[in-house]
Amino acid sequence: MAELLPVPEVAAGATEVVVAEWLVKVGDEFAAGDLIAVIETEKAVVEMEAEKGATLLRALVAPGSTVDVGAPMALLGSADELTEDLDAVLAELGVTGAGTAEPVAAVPATASATEAASQGPSAGTTDAAPGSRTFISPIARKLLREAGLSPDGVTGTGPHGRIRRRDVEHLVAAAASQAPAAPATPAAPTAPSVPSVPSVPSTPTAPSAPAAAAVTGWTDVEHTRLRRAIARRLTQSKQEIPHFYVKRTAVLDELLALRARLNDAAPTKISVNDFLIRAVAVAHTRVPDANVIWTDDALRHFDGVDISVAIASARGLVTPVLRGVEKSSLSAISAQVKTYVEQADAGRLQQQDLEGGSISISNLGMYGVEEFSAIINPPQSAILAVGAGRPTPVVVGDEVTVRTAVQLVLSVDHRAIDGALAAQWMDALVTAIENPLSLVV
| Domains of the chain from N-terminus onward | 3-173 (2.40.50.100), 240-439 (3.30.559.10)
pLDDT at residue number 323:
96
| pLDDT tens digits, one per residue of 406-417 | 999 999 999 999
Residue 436: the pLDDT is: 95
Q: What angle do CA 195, 197, 198 make, to 5 degrees?
A: 140
pLDDT of the residue at 418:
96
> Residue 125, Cβ neighbours under 10 Å: how many?
15
pLDDT of residue 112: 36
CA dihedral 397→398→402→403, nearest 10 degrees, is 10
pLDDT number for residue 331? 92
Which residues of the chain fall short of a pLDDT of 50? 98-133, 179-202
Instruction: Give the Cα separation of 354 and 319 in Å (integer).
Output: 6
- As a whole number of angstroms, the distance between CA 195 and CA 438 comes to 96
Give me the pLDDT at residue 308, please.
Answer: 95
pLDDT of residue 93: 87
Q: Which residues are catalytically annotated? A: 414
- The packing angle between helices 165-178 and 138-147, to 10°, is 20
Q: Which residues contact 325 (CB under 8 A, 6 or more apart)?
A: 277, 278, 280, 281, 305, 306, 307, 333
Beta carbons of 30 and 217 less than 8 angstroms apart: no
Q: Which helix (H) or strand (E) holds 330?
A: helix 330-346
DSSP state of 80: G
Determine the pLDDT at residue 213: 56
Is the separation of the CB atoms in 346 and 162 below 8 Å? yes
Contact call for residues 73 and 7 (beta carbons, < 8 A): yes
State residue 255's pLDDT score: 96
Distance CA 106, CA 37 (A): 9
Q: Going by C-beta distance under 8 Å and a sequence separation of 6 or more, which residues neighbour residue 313?
A: 341, 344, 345
For residue 60, which of 34, 22, 16, 111 has the smallest C-alpha distance? 22
Give pLDDT, residue 207: 52
Report the C-alpha gap between 14 and 5 in whole angstroms.
18
